[in-house]
Structures are given as C-alpha cells and as structure tokens.
Structure 1
C-alpha cells in the first residue's frame, strides 16, 4: 500500500504544481523541508524517524495546499511541535491519507490504531487520527 499511496500523493503534487524531491544526501538529523511560497518539498530519506515517508510527504503537502504561504518561509518537519501551523499540517496530512486509504471502507471497518501503526504516528496523534478516520 505504501508504494501506491506515495504514487497517489506524488500525482496529487503534480496536479497541484508542487515540486517534490527525495534525497539521501542529507544526514539523519535533518528533517524534511517545505518552501510553501515556492511550492517545493524536500524529503530526506535518511531522516531518523519512525514516521513514514508517506505521512511526512502528506504533512509537507498540507503546508502548501492548506497553509498560509506568507506565515513562514520554510517549514521543517516537526511531529511534536505545538505550533498551530504544524498541527494543521498534521490534521490535513492525516485526512489526505485517510481519504485514500479508506475510500472504499465503511466507517465501522476503519481502525484508526492500525492507521497510526502503519504510518508510525506518535500516541499524541490518537485523538486527531480517531476523529478524522471517523469523519471522512
């Protein structure tokens, strides 16, 4: 599923004119980066995190698609940040993925805990994931 999901997200980016680059030239402490005003995302394949590349990509896409491009020039992936812009990107990233994953799944068959496990999301996301998975 992850490969299909990434293909879906990349096609979505192409359709929305978002430039995505994957690199393995950055060290493991360098997070993914998003430049909303320029509609560019850099995904660091070496980044040391259990959070999936698919979620990280959806998160960065959300900064461009749903964020305020003038609010901040650059965003670095930060799963534990309490900033409004980061929480909004988490929520919209979850929704982007959940709409794809659960497009043909009745609400009663959706398991938000499996979703969290599949994408390596921390327990602090539990309420958000549960709410989004139920509502989409």
Structure 2
C-alpha cells in the first residue's frame, strides 16, 4: 500500500501540481479533505480503514484533476451518491487505482469484487468499477 501512496503522491505533485499533506493528527473517523483553490489535499493517515486511504487520495486528486471548483473544502464521504461532482471524482479515483490492481494480473484473474475489497470501495460504486475495469481491459 505504501508504494501505491508514493506513486499517487508523485503523480499528484509532478503530473498535476497538487500538494499532498499526510497527517496522523486527526481522529480515525475524520475524513480526508481537498481545497481546490490551493490545489492541496490533506490525507488522514489515521483513518480507521487503512485499505481505503489510497482511494481517498485518488478521490481527492480526482476533484482537482477534473477541474472541480469549490468555495469550501471538500471532505471525503463514503456515502455521497447523488452529487455528479462526487461521482466523477470517484470515477477518476477508480481509474487512478486500476493500474495498481491490474499490474501483473492475467485477464481471468481480474475481478471487480477483489478490486473493491483491496481498496475498500463503497458498494454503491460497483457499477462504476465494473465499467472502468471493462474499459481498461479493452485497451
């Protein structure tokens, strides 16, 4: 997981000029946050579900990569399902994480459920995961 975080942080900084701050100062249920105007992300490394930290980083990167603008900080939420901006940030996150999951896997071993478990992806995103895996497998 550390390699994934390092790779994502390098991508954020070098490819997208996004500043990422890792902090263990927050409680285990304090979500990660993005400030789009300053292109800064704060990741709570003390999050209760360690498998989900790369998803949170990729999701927050997604807001900036997608060009989202918000007047207030955007906090990660597993439950947000009806906001198009959040859905697109999740879609971008899945696209960012899939190469890590697919690396070295044979096609017959690729499974949406395994991906979702590996990164603790909320179940409401299953259709997005299936669609993005299918799209990457065609490339």
TM-score, length-scaled by structure 1: 0.87
Number of residue-to-residue matches in the alignment: 134
Which residue of structure 1 aligns with residue 27 of structure 2? 27
8 Å contact kept, 1:23–1:42? yes
Q: How big is the alpha-carbon RMSD for the aligned residues of Structure 1 and Structure 2? A: 1.8
Map 1:1-136 onto structure 2 (within 5 A). 2-15=1-14, 16-49=16-49, 52-69=52-69, 71-82=70-81, 83-103=83-103, 105=105, 107-136=107-136
Structure 1 residue 127: Cα displacement? 1.1
Of the structure 1 ranges 47-56 and 117-126, higher mean CA displacement relative to structure 2 is found in 47-56
Give the Cα separation in 2 of the matches to 1:121 and 1:61: 16
8 Å contact kept, 1:13–1:20? yes
TM-score, length-scaled by structure 2: 0.86
Q: Structure 1 regions of 5+ residues with no counterpart? A: none
**Which aligned segments of 4 or more residues in structure 1 are displaced greater than 6 angstroms?**
none
Of the structure 1 ranges 46-55 and 23-32, higher mean CA displacement relative to structure 2 is found in 46-55
